[in-house]
Amino acid sequence: MSPKINSLKTNAFFKVSVIVFIGLLLLIPKSMIQSLIHEREATRQNAIEEVGFKWGGEQTIIGPFLTIPYITYIKEVDQNKKSEKLIKVIKHIYILPDKLAINGEINPEKRYRGIYEIVVYNSKLNLQGSFDKLNLKELGIPLNNILFNRATLSLGISDLRGIENQVKLKWNDSIFSFNPGTVTHEVISSGINTQIPLKKNDSTFYKFSIDLDLKGSQRLFFVPVGKMTDIHLHSNWNNPSFNGAFLPDKREVSNNGFKAHWNILHLNRNFPQQWTNSTYRLENWAFGVNLLLPVDHYQKSLRAIKYAILFIALTFMVFFFVEVTRKVFIHPIQYILVGIALIIFYSLLLAISEHTNFNFAFAISAIATLLLITFYVKAILKSNQLAILIGGILAILYVFIFTIIQLQDYALLIGSIGLFIILALVMYYSRKIDWYNLYGEND
């Protein structure tokens, strides 16, 4: 070996620089695998949307509510003739029910698109409630201008493909069939409606009942349009997630399924019981249940790969300390091969976790990587003791990363404590190293 090469070999500054460069270089494949995780997650979401498109997507129920058109006049000014004329315009009154009670049963099913598992459901919903005596005088509209004979009752349904049977309305003692579409787009953009009989100066107490068989995917939400809204849901699905603007007042979740109850007043949301010609985003107050599948391996894989640079740095640090303390030399190519093995771990983790439990996938990937690196270290260093030492340290690091992934709420705390302990151990075991004479060249 020439003196120049031997000088580079024993030059600590050069060695550290090479190790740092290799570590930064490995960020490229790390970023590629991170992009692959996002791509696979997007593919799964596309599969869900494709099944939802054919079966029925996420459903949000808004209503029912009354829509009553009325006539108003606006002035139009002719600038040339300097004259004014009145133009008749049709606008609408929207009235929400005083009481709304929804009882629903959700029957979920699992469907498959390739390797992806997707949950869909059939639901049987009964909507009952009442409109008390209509008090339209508060709106300041002359009763003669209100077109009571064109009043409709509308029900917002976000995906009409999920309707299984003809939907009928029981309005007091009369039965009406719903038609597709919306009267206006000021309240809902998708739904069904039916014309109902209303009379001027009518003091009737209106009761309604609607039976709705509705299919959907993953989510079933409701908007609390009643002055008092009472919702009961039950299902045999044992992994629900209650989301949206309101959480249930009562809920029971067991291996046999769940039961949930919401009771919401009109004072709990920020839109009135009746208004004219205004747009309110009622869906912002939606709430309900998500039928979750315990599929979180993409999120966990992303969280794991965020620690890749830390894992590579600690592993290279161990190798460097072995070089320093045992007076052995590890070639940069060998650092690169070990680094690639550490990166391949995340690819194995992603691929295996798509077909099995994430914890099992993590164990298989970690064991395979540990065995590969341990036997490689034994081959290049010719030492069982060093191979076992490095393998044991890597095993501890994998356990540390796995613990951080599992403890989501305490990840920062556990991670910070763990890193502090690692730094303390490195400082303790390196306290007697002569950094100016690492390889004993001045002995």
Say which residue, 310 or 265, is predicted with more confidence: 265
- The highest-confidence range among 320-329, 384-393, 417-426, by mean pLDDT, is 384-393
Say which residue, 78 or 21, is predicted with more confidence: 21
pLDDT at position 326 is 73
pLDDT at position 443 is 45
What mean pLDDT do residues 301-314 have? 84
pLDDT tens digits, residue range 33-81? 889 888 888 888 787 778 777 788 889 999 899 999 988 888 777 666 6
The mean-pLDDT minimum among 75-79, 140-144, 187-191, 272-276 falls in 75-79
Of all residues in the chain, the percent with pLDDT exceeding 70 is 91
pLDDT tens digits, residue range 360-392? 999 999 999 999 999 998 888 888 888 888 888
Give the type of residue at 89.
Answer: V
SS (H, E, C) the chain: CCHHHHHHHCCHHHHHHHHHHHHHHCHHHHHHHHHHHHHHHHHHHHHHHHHHHHHCCCEEEEEEEEEEEEEEEEEEEECCCCEEEEEEEEEEEEECCCEEEEEEEEEEEEEEECCEEEEEEEEEEEEEEEECCCCCHHHCCCHHHECHHHCEEEEEECCHHHECCCCEEEECCEEEECEECCCCCCCCCCEEEEECCCCCCCCCCEEEEEEEEEEEECEEEEECCCCEEEEEEEECCCCEEEEECCCCCEEEEECCEEEEEEEEEHHHCCCCCEEECCCCCHHHHCEEEEECCCCCHHHHHHHHHCCHHHHHHHHHHHHHHHHHHHCCCCCHHHHHHHHHHHHHHHHHHHHHHCCCCHHHHHHHHHHHHHHHHHHHHHHHHCCHHHHHHHHHHHHHHHHHHHHHHHCCCCHHHHHHHHHHHHHHHHHHHCCCCCCCCCCCCCC
pLDDT at position 436 is 66
- Which pLDDT band holds residue 202 (cuts at 50, 70, 90)? low
For residue 345, pLDDT over 80 is answered with yes
pLDDT at position 372 is 92
Say which residue, 8 or 405, is predicted with more confidence: 405
Neighbours of 63 (CB within 10 A): 27
pLDDT tens digits, residue range 146-197? 888 899 999 999 999 999 889 999 998 899 999 999 888 888 889 999 999 8
The mean-pLDDT minimum among 71-75, 251-255, 271-275, 429-433 falls in 429-433
For residue 3, pLDDT over 60 is answered with no
Please state the φ and ψ torsions of residue 102, each to the nearest 5 degrees. Answer: -125, 125
Strand arrangement, sheet containing 206-217: 174-177, 168-171, 206-217, 116-131, 99-113, 228-235, 257-265, 250-254
What mean pLDDT do residues 397-419 have? 79
- Which pLDDT band holds residue 143 (cuts at 50, 70, 90)? confident
pLDDT at position 187 is 87
Please state the φ and ψ torsions of residue 184, each to the nearest 5 degrees. Answer: -135, 170
pLDDT at position 430 is 72
Rounded to two decimals, what is the model's pTM?
0.74
- The highest-confidence range among 210-224, 294-308, 412-426, by mean pLDDT, is 210-224
Please state the φ and ψ torsions of residue 328, each to the nearest 5 degrees. Answer: -110, 165
What mean pLDDT do residues 233-239 have? 91
* Averaged confidence pLDDT in the chain: 85
pLDDT at position 137 is 77
